[in-house]
């Protein structure tokens, strides 16, 4: 058996001036993602499976923090948004909502000619599982071309 030999220690460096890069800036195909346009929103299929293929959601927005939460809800709820048919395998679902997105684009100073995508993370509140999307550092897209990786 080989004798354990620790690796030589590298030269000590100062971490002053470095910043941790948020994990949300690295998209992975297995992450839930939300895309917003000037008149619509879309969710990828990972969102559906993460929320147990629920048929309806509620959307909550924090305009000051530029965050959106989606919460599974009964389809008969007065604020329910029918976003998914569990019997169908959908890759994504685009939902028209100009009355919601147009003011958001204005408040968040987003370019209405672009669309923005960010990954979500699972969070919970009061025992309910939900998805949180942070639009502080979204990818900005024009058609199929990424304009930049951190928004405008």
Place of tokens 């990818």: 139
Beta-sheet strands, E only, within the chain:
33-36, 40-44, 56-62, 67-72, 81-82, 92-96, 115-125, 128-134, 139-142, 145-148
Q: pTM value?
A: 0.77
Distances (CA, A) of 152 to 38, 64, 68, 74, 149: 14, 17, 18, 36, 9
pLDDT per residue of the chain (152 residues) written in tens, 0 to 9: 556 676 666 677 788 888 887 665 665 678 999 999 999 999 999 999 999 989 999 999 999 999 999 999 999 999 999 998 777 776 677 899 999 999 999 999 999 999 999 999 999 999 999 999 999 999 999 988 888 754 44
Q: Measure Cα distances from 26 to 14, 72, 80, 135, 138 in Å.
A: 25, 26, 31, 14, 10
């Amino acid at each position: 058996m080989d004798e354990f030999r620790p690796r030589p220690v590298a030269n000590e460096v100062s971490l002053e001036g470095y910043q941790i890069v948020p994990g949300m800036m690295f998209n992975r195909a297995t992450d839930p993602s939300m895309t917003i346009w000037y008149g619509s929103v879309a969710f990828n299929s990972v969102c559906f499976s993460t929320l147990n293929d629920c048929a309806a959601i509620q959307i909550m927005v924090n305009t000051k923090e530029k965050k959106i939460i989606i919460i599974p809800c009964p389809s008969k709820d007065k604020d329910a948004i029918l976003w998914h048919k569990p019997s169908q395998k959908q890759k994504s679902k685009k939902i028209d909502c100009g009355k919601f997105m147009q003011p958001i684009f204005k408040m968040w100073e987003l370019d209405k000619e672009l669309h923005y995508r960010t990954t979500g993370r699972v969070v919970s509140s009061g025992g309910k599982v939900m998805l949180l999307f942070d639009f502080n550092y979204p990818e900005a897209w024009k058609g199929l071309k990424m304009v930049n990786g951190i928004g405008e």
